[in-house]
Amino acid sequence: MNKPIELPAIWLGETPLVCIARTEETHDCATFELAAPTGQRFDYFPGQFVSVGAEIDGKTHWRAYSISSSPNQPETLAITVKRVEGGLVSNWLLDHWRAGMSLPALAPAGDFGLKKGEALPPAVAFFSAGSGITPMVSMSRWLLGNEAEVEIHFFHSARSESDFIFGRELLALAADYPQFRLHLFLTQPQGGMPCHTGRLDAARVKALLPDVSGLRAWLCGQDGYMDAVSEFLSAAGVADECILRESFTPPVTEIDMDAARYALSVPAFGKTAEIAAGESLLDVMEREGLPIIGACRTGVCGSCKCKVLSGIVESASNIPLTADEVANGYVLACSSTAKGDLEVALG
């Protein structure tokens, strides 16, 4: 009797991830292929992200990056990082992270993408700008690798051919797979590849998506880009519930000088600090040097989960929390503000 094949255990963030290869995608963007040193495999659905921590000037900073690889290859996981002005962790990774180096990381998370067990629609439209292309590439690789009977409309906006991340691969996919339709928009094309000139607009979305029945759309890019695309899709007849957005841009909150002030206590660490009305628990706890991880900072990864022991908070998101956790007082520090004095436990 044949013995069943035992698969490696699933990596859940117990160990740092090792960079086993680095590929320069464009002049300001690179892909890092990662592996667990213990040989564990990765389990995620296409569209999710992973958070990595980089020690900069003696402090570990966490950031979330969409996974660009496909779950069809569970031995490794890849993230694609673009240099951005003022991007502390992204720029550090591009300047310092090389093959052989390891960094702490958290298990894949997020609610954006092609979820396990969900029926696939007959057609999908992926809209991205800049590094927002990474989850779209993961989903496309997965769909094509599984020979899914899904028509893929891949919209991407960039400045020029030299800024087109994964350009060669996507052009090859468009040539090899009739169901994969690439719609590239370049504002400053140099004639190096077929594209639409200028910015995406409502008329061109409608022309390129003449039949939106059964279509689902995923959007990733700056908020202004996603706002505009959402309007274009709505005008083309796509229902709001079929338009899904991903964003790692935390909201900027201005705290009024006259805002009420409360006491935030974390007794396990002997800390009491002032928190203003409208200020996130995460901002205060980071300022006080408490050991809390703020990876996505937008209420989707769950890394900053904490428990309210006493007091009342207002939470804008509890997406990664279970119903039992919410009932037991757990909140996301990045998405919660105080409504009075608070006592909180970390973890």
Distance, CA of 295 to CA of 65 (rounded, Å): 9
In this prediction, residue 259 carries a pLDDT of 84
Per domain, the residue ranges of the chain are: 17-103, 123-246, 261-346
β 59-66/77-82 pair status: unpaired
**Reading across the β-sheet that carries 196-197, which strands appear in turn?**
196-197, 180-186, 151-158, 123-129, 215-220, 243-246
Distance, CA of 274 to CA of 265 (rounded, Å): 9
Distance, CA of 158 to CA of 185 (rounded, Å): 6
Per-residue pLDDT of the chain (347 residues; tens, 9 = 90+): 565 656 679 998 889 999 999 999 999 999 999 999 988 999 999 999 999 999 998 888 888 999 999 999 999 999 999 998 888 899 999 999 999 999 999 999 888 999 888 899 999 999 999 999 999 999 999 999 999 999 999 999 999 999 999 999 999 999 999 999 999 999 999 988 899 999 999 999 999 998 898 999 999 998 899 999 999 999 999 999 999 998 666 656 677 788 889 999 999 999 899 999 989 999 898 888 888 888 778 777 888 889 999 999 998 888 788 889 999 999 999 889 999 999 999 87
Which is the CATH superfamily of the domain at 261-346? Beta-grasp domain (3.10.20.30)
In this prediction, residue 248 carries a pLDDT of 63
Per CATH, domain 17-103 is 2.40.30.10: yes
**Cβ-proximal residues to 64 (8 Å cutoff; 6+ apart), any chain:** 49, 50, 51, 109, 110, 248, 295, 296, 297, 301
Strand partners, 288: none
CATH T-level topology, domain 123-246: Rossmann fold (3.40.50)
